Amino acid sequence: MKSARKLSFSSSASSPTATATVTVTSPDEQFIPPPPPNITLHLQPNQAHSRAATKIQSAYRAHLIRTLYKTISTVDSAADRLQRRIQRQDTGRRPPGQPPREGRGIDEELMRLLLRLDSVPGGIDPALREGRRK
């Protein structure tokens, strides 16, 4: 059968050096280590770290803008191909009253392109916003 242990912790942090008092009550008087003290670090910003962080962030933003603009240009070229395909169908001869054969496939493909274009956020860069509008 296990014996019950009661622990009570109290601390006072009135000065920068905090003191902790631990009272351990146990039938067999085993040592229970006190909890670790709260340590607060105050770091001074280093200019080299700040410049390095700015450089990393600008490189990431440039990469992100290039990737998103590539997505926009891919959607644009696919939309141009669909437009040429639609124009070829309109000029093609078919009997009156017969619906176009590929109408439903083109609609679905256009919807997929619009969804891909919607996945590009426009608020990151003004060039991306203009590319989406175009």
> Which pLDDT tens digit goes with each residue over 70-86?
999 999 999 999 888 88
Lowest-confidence pick of 18-22, 55-59, 107-111, 129-133: 18-22
**C-beta neighbour count of 48 within 10 angstroms:** 8
pLDDT band at 46 (very low <50, low <70, confident <90, very high): confident
Return the pLDDT at 90. Answer: 67
Average pLDDT of span 15-39: 64
d(CA 123, CA 129): 7
The token duo for 92 is: 């093609």
Closest Cα to residue 75, out of 121, 110, 124? 110
Distance CA 133, CA 66 (A): 17
The pLDDT, as a whole number, for residue 62 is 92
